[in-house]
Amino acid sequence: MPFQDLNNNHIPQAVKDQIIVLGDQMEALIKPYLRNLSSEENGKVGKISETNKLFVNKDRDYHVSQPALDSPDVNWVEFEADYESRQFYELGAMRFESLAKAMTETRRLHDYDNYQNALLDYKYAQYKDSTQAGLGYDSKVEELGQFFTGGGPSEPTLENP
């Protein structure tokens, strides 16, 4: 017996509407501060390695604990602003990535439920077509059958996203 209706926890429309409004507000708030780099800029700027992040953190530790050792050539106000912005973006991205992953996995449960129920409905239409011809099930079976390998009665496979 197939698993069916794995997730019966549905978001009410009012909550969906509120999430959309809040998402729009968040996007409007942060968009002026975001930049998409061109491929040329991306190549120039690159990506900081974990070792280099540790280097930056250690240098900042020295700046905070022993400012007398700071280079006068560094704009430390800008350094701190960059550091704080970086932390904000990293934590925000991690939070949104985690949320996106959970939403994708929850969506997959609903995909699975829909797929299993569609298979059940298709099998019912096949049964009704074979026992009570002429009621319209023949066209439903034919239309749905196109999604099966060779258009026959075998089941299509559920793809992993």
Of 19, 8, 17, the C-alpha closest to 99 is: 19
Read off the amino acid at residue 87: Q
Contact 67, 83 (CB under 8 A): no
Question: Which pLDDT score, from 0 to 100, does residue 160 have?
Answer: 53
Task: Write out pLDDT tens, residues 99-123.
Answer: 999 999 999 999 999 999 999 999 9
Residue that the structure tokens 């280079």 belong to: 71
What 3-state class would DSSP assign to 91? helix
Cα 14–chain centre separation: 22
pLDDT at 54: 97
Flag whether the pTM goes above 0.85: no
CB-side exposure of 7: number of CA atoms within 13 Å?
15
| Closest to 126 in 3D by CA, of 147, 113, 145 | 145
Low-confidence ranges of the chain (pLDDT < 50): 1, 151, 161
